[in-house]
Structure 1
Amino acid sequence: MSPQKITRREFLRFSAATTVGVLAAACAPPGAAPAPEEEGAPAPAPKEKVVIEWWHGWGGMTGVNAMQAVADAFNEEHEDIQVNRLQVSQINEKYMTAIAGGTPPDVEIGNLQYAQYWARGVVHVLDDWIDASEIIDRDDIFSSSWQEASWQGKTYGVPTVESYLRFALCYNEDLVKEAGLDPDNPPLDWDEAFEWHKAITTFDEAGNIEILGFDPMDAMGGSGPGPPDPFFWPQSYGFKWWLPDEMKFNFDNELFVAALATIKRFYDHVGVEKMAGYRSSYGTWTQSPTASFPAGVQAMIINGYWTPGELVHSAPDKKFRYTWPPNSPERRGIKFQSTGGHFGNIPKGSKHPEEAFKFIEFTTTDKACDIIFSQTGWLGARKSYLEKVDPSKAPGLEFYLRSATEADEMNSSESCPIGGFVGQNWRNTVDAVNFGDKTPEEAARDLQEMCTEELRKQFPELV
């Protein structure tokens, strides 16, 4: 999802406007004597206003404007608490630095590698506040979302702002028909998806890709592991890549080897160098009209619930369908889905933690959710709000809403404390296999060893 990529170098600080109350003087009727002051009853001192600092990572005009609108709405409802919002680029590094230096914001929502903060214990445990809340209802939020917000039985975050479903196979109806395929019968496993890939992909006279069937690493296919985003390929092949009870990785297994081989199969058909050349001309994901899928030069993509809303703007003249992602052949027909997303959290060192939690509560309300959905198309994890969402403005969103109740498996992002390291090296692993530098078996074994060593280095107490 493109809003999760923060590329701006400079901070953009937007201060929420604060309203200074003007005390109106009481006027006596003309000619009347002023009322005598009551002895021993001094006028009460005005309550001191608390200003809380909120950091978020979402950039771009759409995201920034929506976050400011949420802050403004909170400020209008709370005279004694005001939110000062700040968009922070490279927030993952800067947030940890601020906490270590004793100068954190009061609250943070969005764009972190959350699990490392949970595991290091540098943010507040929120269970007591959540259990006492009259706004947040644990049962009204996906249990898988709470799993992502937790570490070793304690809850460190509240799913909010953008915390909905991550997976669907999205496909261009016209490209499928032009290849002689039936759009009413999409592929259920990777063998069938590969047949679609071969039928749809076309080349020019020089052998360069003109139309691409499928890029396994585009959008959510190549994203994760999170949170905020789940790891797609282990879920498609039906195994857990991280075993939290044992604090161990699980990459050196035949299912991960098979997933790597499947990805390579798609790349081999077009040529890995040709794919690199294609990617130099077309971007990924679905927000930009010049990305390959919105531009109509790629037929299939794995992506999340935001896709229909983005394509309304980036590809308004094209027809798209949405269905369950393919599985390994052994899991053919299993309907799997996954939550993912972002969490309100309060760093240790926050000057106003109780007021910060009140703001987190507000971000989960219908009022805040309406602002966010109307301006960005993002959805949170509150089931009672999701039941009221009108999908008609984003054709295809209805599939994601249905999938929340129809899925055979509802998965989550595994809370691995070195998820960022794993994510970078997972992509390097795929490149090594695709370019023939390693076999899938070698790559799986090396990733297992590499991640285990990094976990031992960063968290020796866990290994």
Structure 2
Amino acid sequence: MAERSVGRRAFLRSTGFAMGAAALAACAAPAATGSDDAAAAAEPAVVTWWYAWSQLDPAVETISGLESFRDHMGGDTTVDYRGSTNTEAVLTALAAGDPPDGGSNMDYPNLWTRGVVFACNDWVDGSDVINPDDVVDAVWQGGFYDGNLIGVPSIESFLWYGLNYNAQHVEEAGLDPDDPPLTWEGVFEWHKALSKFDEGGNVTRIGLDPIDAMAGEPDFISLSYGHQWWDDETQAIDLNNELLVQGIKMQAEFFRHIGPDNFAGFRSVEGQGAWGGAFNAQAQSMIIEGYWHAGETTIQQPDVAVHNRATWAPVPGFREGAKIMATGPHMVQIFKEGQNPEGMFKVSEFLHNHEACQIIFEQVGWIMGIESWLPTIDADAYPGLRFYIDGINDVTDWLVGRRSPLHWYVNTQLWELREQVYRDLITAEEAVAELQTRAENEWEAQGLS
């Protein structure tokens, strides 16, 4: 078992992320009365929870069947959960006046700025279950906007960045799995050595998709190159930046080596998708993902997982030695127009119990940053996980990610413009200039000024 805990205060200080007294501001969540509680306990209740993940369902089913869960909910409660449901589906339900009670793995800041979710400060302040001091600070404080807790951090929230690789592929290519590259230049050499083509020139295995999973997001490539495109304090957007230009140029080289159309054809094959699909099929040798890759791969494809190893995500050669990492909360957001907001909060409370954390860890492979539970994790339960458990104190560059209300908008636009770069339709300089303009226009269009 892992014997050391993550230092919460050190973790927060290292991110440079802190909240002022405004974090204690009152919220608009409805206060339950004693009579309301009694009525809820006397009648069967339904809590409707939608989330974008596809793999969480078995754990939710297990948790909702626990006697301890029923006791916590105060009666016979059914959790009507729906996986693989995205933000757009929730917006449609909101427009129809029939949203779920809660949502997770969605565009949290955007839903908050739309005014459709409760702030949860008062609920948490009155909770005997949730202890904010027992949650890694950067995770907990990452749930605050303008002093409001916009959801209950829970489910899974730990470390986001690492280069995971198939050691068997590496050995077969004549490379040393015990000496992985830590720079983009070195990873590109591995990419060329690990990629395979058939006699017709069609790619049959890729080394690394440089924008797969976490690597595709603007937060990642910016931090890798020593830049942050979003300033949480001033709300300034800095995308038209030379460091981002360099990052896009580097990522483009991975596509050019394979060929843009060749790469697209590879991805179109069933079972060779992103976010672990091609890695599980052994058609992809490396992937930049968070700690969850270790557990998910073990659960989904154990014969592949035994070859998985993890190390630091790459940085450019001029930043060699930098060790980057991000974190941030997933959460349960509670919709104002939901039918059972108090019930949804009670579900989110239970997710802070060690019993629920352990079920999610064992059945899905996920970790929630609960300080008192983290030391109980077996760092060797999943190949590659130990890197994330042991490496936390060696990080040099921290980020609390996905903070901008425009994060997912910028992410989508970056994907479009980056493809134009690696297809040589525009330059990287033109791409970041256009990205900056689009982001500023969207900021105005959403009334965020």
Q: TM-score, normalised by structure 1?
A: 0.80
Number of equivalences: 407
86-95 vs 45-54, greater mean Cα deviation: 45-54
Deviation digits for residues 353-377 of structure 1 (CA, Å, limit 9, x no counterpart): 4443222111111121122222212
Match of 1:215 among 209, 224, 243: 209
Unaligned runs of 5+ in 1: 1-43, 226-230
Which SS does the other structure have where 1:199 is aligned?
A: helix
Measure the CA separation in 2 of the matches of 1:213 and 1:118.
39
Measure the CA separation in 1 of the matches of 2:122 and 2:39.
32
1:93 aligns with 2:80: no
Match of 2:65 among 67, 72, 76: 72
Q: How does 1:4-403 map to 2 (within 5 A)?
A: 48-49=42-43, 51-58=45-52, 60=54, 62-73=55-66, 74-80=69-75, 82-87=77-82, 90-99=85-94, 102-106=97-101, 108-222=102-216, 224=217, 231-281=219-269, 283-285=272-274, 287-288=276-277, 291=278, 293-312=279-298, 313-314=300-301, 316=303, 319-403=307-391
Offset, 1:80: 3.7
> Quick check: which has more Rg, 1 or 2?
1
- Cα pair distance change 1:59/1:190, threshold 3 Å: closer
Measure the CA separation in 1 of the matches of 2:433 and 2:157.
33
Measure the CA separation in 2 of the matches of 1:198 and 1:426.
25
Measure the CA separation in 2 of the matches of 1:221 and 1:47.
46
* 8 A Cα contact 1:144 1:411, kept in partner: no
- Cα pair distance change 1:253/1:396, threshold 3 Å: same
Deviation digits for residues 42-83 of structure 1 (CA, Å, limit 9, x no counterpart): xx99963362423122464x5222212222332244444624
Measure the CA separation in 1 of the matches of 2:371 and 2:40.
40
Which residue identity lines up with residue 58 of structure 2 in the other structure? N
Measure the CA separation in 2 of the matches of 1:81 and 1:177.
55
Measure the CA separation in 1 of the matches of 2:418 and 2:335.
35
* 8 A Cα contact 2:325 2:399, kept in partner: yes
Deviation digits for residues 330-382 of structure 1 (CA, Å, limit 9, x no counterpart): 22121121124521122223454444322211111112112222221222221
Offset, 1:89: 5.1
- Cα pair distance change 1:46/1:105, threshold 3 Å: closer
Measure the CA separation in 1 of the matches of 2:148 and 2:418.
34
Offset, 1:189: 1.1
Measure the CA separation in 2 of the matches of 1:188 and 1:245.
31
Measure the CA separation in 2 of the matches of 1:98 and 1:118.
16
Aligned residue in 2 for 1:15:
none
Which SS does the other structure have where 2:303 is aligned?
A: coil
Measure the CA separation in 2 of the matches of 1:325 and 1:113.
25
Which residue identity lines up with residue 166 of structure 2 in the other structure? N
Identity of aligned residues (%): 36
